[in-house]
Structure 1
């Protein structure tokens, strides 16, 4: 059997990039459906083939991680694309994306789009927010206000983070993921959509996930979405997905402190002193309440750190 990686799943076919660099069209063995297993883009697999159009996906190797929305596995880096306006920059949505990446041990990169059309006032407001995320330790790419970047300049900004990695572009619909990727590689011709004026969010324009070679790695363009539901994470795991809350939480009086109503909470003290941004703590509490009010589900990922 040969070994490769699934780079596209479409209409029941799985397209596998072999270690030799060839692309094979395959169908999954019937046992996967029987066992309720769905191969994902990003899976490392074993396969057999007669021709490059007639192959069989035989076995899936253990996954490093997997995302359900978008459905992709073995991701190293997640680029969260946030627009500076139209749709408006949302720290709430950004934090939901960051929590998803942190929980799955995926390195986040924040990329801000539409800075070329932003007013100076809006740009300075978003710059302050970006500096807060950089202080936490996140990589933030904020192009200069009023400047249209060339493809080469975008490459220079992203290559150090994406080279030799499998990456996903995710974030708010209408934020410009497909536009950004098209500028990075003009052969992609990914469909783009304008932001819906009535809903304030973009139309979903990307119909399937595909890994494409770019910047020395593999990059997926993924369907945009405006909300992430936390179906597995529990209240003890959530603090680990906010790096600054996790660090300050080590100094709490109670080891099981979830930084909500407990006394002698180092996290709340850090918020009061300005060491933790108030908006981050507010978003944390909102997600914590969502997790606590979620209907019970069986199964748990277990300790992460």
Structure 2
């Protein structure tokens, strides 16, 4: 029985690329998956077979290394978080929220700031450049890789291609920040649908309506996914949010109390580091905001 990878899922069909043939076969999933309450995901390694009508069936899902719910994709080992610097401007709180989810899934993260070519040559543009540079320095100091890019001018594209080599990566971020434009720049000839930002709403339209894996020259595979406008912490325990901040995680062993919330307890290593200026104000304030949001969610349900 041949093995392969699900490259795309659309309208009940799974498009499986065979390991040996390199060809993609349109497949249906066997009914047994529904009985088990299981669904194949894009990125799944599967055993499949070709049927008489020229299509195929997915017969078995091989063990997964990872599985995301939103976006629904399996075996990803790198999350590329894409944030534009203009239209919409860089949103640090939303970036930290994405990072909490990525850390919770135990994935590595690459931060990509896009649309550098659209920064205006005026006083406002100077402010944007300062904010972008400050953000780059902050997240690199925490331990994240940060790339500055322009899909239209090709800036940073080769560095991004090299960083993706050997990985199955998921591109995530608000709709309209330029994820599809980056993938188009990475894969010449690919024309994933893109859209401009709505002037009225200040955000992009959802241009990608399904998850699809795309092979990148250089050995990487990326998943172009539907844009996200919001995330919540319903699946996280309150004691897990702090561990999803890398710098907090490194400090937590120095806290007096096990399970310290880093908000009010005495002899808290995180609060002490914040007081010394060793933890950024934006990160700590966002952390407290997320903790409050989590409590509100739990109170509601």
Give deviations 1:222-262, integer Å, cap 9, x for gaps.
11112112222111111121100111121111121011221
Residue 18 of structure 2 aligns with which residue?
A: 18
- 8 A contact 2:147–2:156 mirrored in 1: no
Once residues 86 and 41 of structure 2 are traced to their aligned partners in structure 1, the CA distance between those partners, rounded to angstroms, is: 33
Structure 1 Cα separation of the partners of residues 39 and 168 of structure 2: 20
Q: Does 1:217 align with 2:220?
A: yes
Task: Indicate conservation of the 8 Å contact 2:42/2:213, yes or no.
Answer: yes
Structure 2 partner of 1:186: 188
Q: Which residue of 1 aligns with 2:122?
A: none
Structure 1: give runs of 5+ residues left out of the alignment: 299-305
Would you say how many aligned residue pairs link Structure 1 and Structure 2?
294
Aligned Cα root-mean-square deviation (Å): 2.0
The TM-score normalised by the length of structure 1 is 0.91
Alignment match, 1:277: 280
Secondary structure of the structure 2 residue equivalent to 1:59: strand
Q: TM-score, structure 2 length as denominator?
A: 0.92
Could you say what secondary structure the match of 2:298 adopts? coil
Given that 1:130 and 1:140 are in contact with CA atoms closer than 8 Å, whether structure 2 keeps it comes out as yes
Q: Which residue of 1 aligns with 2:106?
A: 105
Q: Distance in 2 between matches of 1:88 and 1:155?
A: 20
State the match for 1:32 in structure 2. 33
1:93–1:226 contact (8 Å) kept in structure 2 = no
**What per-residue deviation string (whole Å, max 9, x for no partner) do you get for residues 71-92 of structure 1?**
1111111111100010111011
Report matched runs for 1:62-141 at 5 Å: 62-118=63-119, 119-141=125-147
Range 112-121 or range 127-136, more displaced: 112-121
Describe the shift of the 1:293–1:53 C-alpha distance in structure 2 as closer, same or farther (beyond 3 A): farther
Within 1, Cα distance between the matches of 2:86 and 2:283? 20
SS in 2 for 1:236: helix
Q: Name the SS for the 1:174 alignment partner.
A: coil
Taking a change above 3 Å as real, the CA distance of residues 148 and 193 of structure 1, as seen in their structure-2 partners, is closer
Select which of 226, 251, 263 maps to 2:254: 251
Measure how far apart 1:143 and its partner are.
Answer: 4.1
Output the CA distance in 1 between the equivalents of 2:118 and 2:205.
20
Determine the C-alpha separation between the residues in 1 that align with 2:268 and 2:170: 36
Runs (5+) with no aligned partner, structure 2: 120-124
